[in-house]
Structure 1
Amino acid sequence: MRQPDIEIYLKDGGQQAVAEWLNAMIGPCTPWRQKGQTFKCEAANGAPITWLPNAVGKWHSLFIESEQTPWEDDLAFARAAHAALGVEIRCAPGGWQEEESIDAADRWIKINGEGEQEFVWRTQ
């Protein structure tokens, strides 16, 4: 089932490289607009994109608020980002609902040169 929005966390991913990859994958995006620590732009289809450097420690958040992307879910987005950018990517293993336990929120998947692995990432 397609997620209504997708988000990944990138280690050492440069904003310019991410922008170039997004332009190639979803069409030309508007220039980034900075609002405080957050950067925003829009994809060619109007989907809002948010880049938050150092969202969790040294991990950068990339969030697309649309289901109109080439990726069905966070994991597909993470796999594609890792393949294109060559940096470690982390994502949730599936959608998370407020009703779920906090422990479920700490379950993540990391994708790096060693493959994919589920692990516990306590972000708070």
Structure 2
Amino acid sequence: MQDLEIYIRDLAPKQVSQWLEANVDNLALDDTDVSSVIKGTASYEGASVRITLYPGAFGKRFTSLVLEGEELPWGTDLDCARSAWRAMDTEIRCSPGDWQEGQPVEDEKWWRLDSRGEQKVVWN
């Protein structure tokens, strides 16, 4: 099972579903109200994909998006973040590598993708 996680700043309703519709099949995600946890499903290359949005991650401005499945459209968090940034044109952040829940983040640095480009930054 693979999982990808990105953080979307100032997520607007329907942004995630509009982006994912171009990358997965059979999308079932109602993200018209992004103020509470949202769960959805899709498929990719015949495999099931679970989608979860968690608002209020790292403060009120970011929403965590988690994609889980045997097959996913992107190989890394950074690849996923790049695709999301191109589609949503809002700041996207992700961990710098194969981070696991409970582990410290490498030097507390994260990838930040925005109009300034791609940079490793401290989250604050």
Q: How big is the shift at 1:98? A: 6.1
1:15-94 equivalences under 5 Å are 15-32=13-30, 37-44=36-43, 45-57=47-59, 58-94=61-97
Paired position in structure 2 for 1:7: 5
**Does the CA contact (< 8 Å) of 2:95 and 2:105 recur in 1?**
no
Task: Report % sequence identity.
Answer: 36
Q: Distance in 2 between matches of 1:99 and 1:70?
A: 26
**Does the CA contact (< 8 Å) of 1:96 and 1:105 recur in 2?**
no
Structure 2 runs not aligned, ≥5 long: none
Which is helix-richer, 1 or 2?
1
**Does the CA contact (< 8 Å) of 2:109 and 2:123 recur in 1?**
yes
2:84 aligns to what SS in structure 1? Answer: helix
Please point out which of 106, 120, 124 is paired with 1:118. Answer: 120
Relative to the length of structure 1, the TM-score reads 0.82
Summarize deviations over 1:19-68 as a string: whole Å, max 9, x none. 1111121123114399x931100013421100112222110111001251
May I ask how many residue pairs the two structures share in their alignment?
118
AA partner of residue 22 (structure 2): A
Q: How big is the shift at 1:15? A: 3.6
1:69 aligns to what SS in structure 2? Answer: coil
AA partner of residue 4 (structure 1): Q
Paired position in structure 2 for 1:104: 106
**1:103 and 1:81, CA in 2 relative to 1: closer, same or farther beyond 3 A?**
closer
Which is strand-richer, 1 or 2?
2
Relative to the length of structure 2, the TM-score reads 0.82
